[in-house]
Amino acid sequence: MINKETISACHSSEVPSWSIANHLVFPLLEGISPGTERPADVFAKTSSDPLSGMLSNCIKMSLALFYRGAIIPITESLIREWAISFSTLRIAMESNVSLVARSSRLVRHEKIGTSYFSVHTDASPFNSILPFYQPFQETVAVLLGFPFYFAVPEHRTVVLFGKESLSRYFGDFRDDIALTYETSTRSLSPELIEVSESGLVTVSR
């Protein structure tokens, strides 16, 4: 379960070998507010750091090891200790996210005549990763077309809908998204994000 209290510094004695760790590498998503201080060992020290980057205006992704209830940020020194390349690390992460995506289910809902979908998986703390994962985006696009829209107010909650529902979002959905974001102990972002063939863009906050 993603919980800020479980984020730990990396110590060699606590880290498994790569043969075990490669199954435990996932993106760590964190909500970023302007002016908010964040732990230096979790986030990139520069904007070009390949281990961490912004996915949207308010969501930052870092690669991390989810091991025995702790979240261990992956650093360059840890990669050297494992004697692997950055490409190998990324391939492992992609493979692990793919497993989550395979278990995903889209559940249709109706609100005041407007349809939307929620995302459910066998690893619900990682639900919020999926809308940023291109193969999952392509699967959703088969159902909703491009562009489609999503919100991830917290780690477990993903709301998706098609272009035809966009005009109803601000009246029907936005307050619900904001309330989930404000009351969750694992909040991410109040943003609405558009997905198209050109990529991701934040539509509103």
Q: Are 3 and 125 in contact (CB under 8 A)?
A: no
Select the highest-mean-pLDDT range: 26-35, 45-54, 71-80, 166-175: 71-80
Same domain, 161 and 198: yes
| C-alpha closest to that of 18 among 86, 96, 83, 99 | 83
* Structure confidence at residue 147 as a pLDDT band (50, 70, 90): very high
Same domain, 114 and 60: no
Same domain, 126 and 44: no
Domain boundary among 49, 80, 101: 101
Looking at per-residue pLDDT, the higher value among 195 and 114 belongs to 195
Same domain, 44 and 110: no
Residue type, position 74, single letter = I
pLDDT of residue 44: 36
Same domain, 77 and 126: no
Q: Are 105 and 120 in contact (CB under 8 A)?
A: yes
Same domain, 149 and 196: yes
- Which domain range does residue 28 map to? 4-101
* Structure confidence at residue 33 as a pLDDT band (50, 70, 90): confident
Domain boundary among 83, 101, 119: 101
Same domain, 112 and 197: yes
pLDDT of residue 169: 86
Q: Classify the C-alpha dihedral 104-98-68-45 as positive or negative.
A: negative
The runs of H, that is alpha helices, within 75-173 are 76-82, 86-102, 134-144, 166-172
Looking at per-residue pLDDT, the higher value among 98 and 34 belongs to 98
Same domain, 87 and 148: no
Same domain, 154 and 86: no
pLDDT of residue 119: 97
Q: Tell me how many domains the chain contains.
A: 2
Q: Is residue 3 predicted with pLDDT exceeding 60? A: no
Q: What is the mean pLDDT of the chain?
A: 86
pLDDT of residue 187: 94
pLDDT of residue 42: 36
For the segment 49-89, what is each residue's pLDDT rounded down to a tens digit? 567 889 999 999 999 999 999 999 999 999 999 999 999 99
Domain boundary among 82, 101, 120: 101
Same domain, 92 and 116: no
Q: Is residue 29 predicted with pLDDT exceeding 90? A: yes
Query: Token pair of 70, please?
Result: 């702790």
Same domain, 95 and 110: no
Same domain, 187 and 121: yes
pLDDT of residue 107: 97
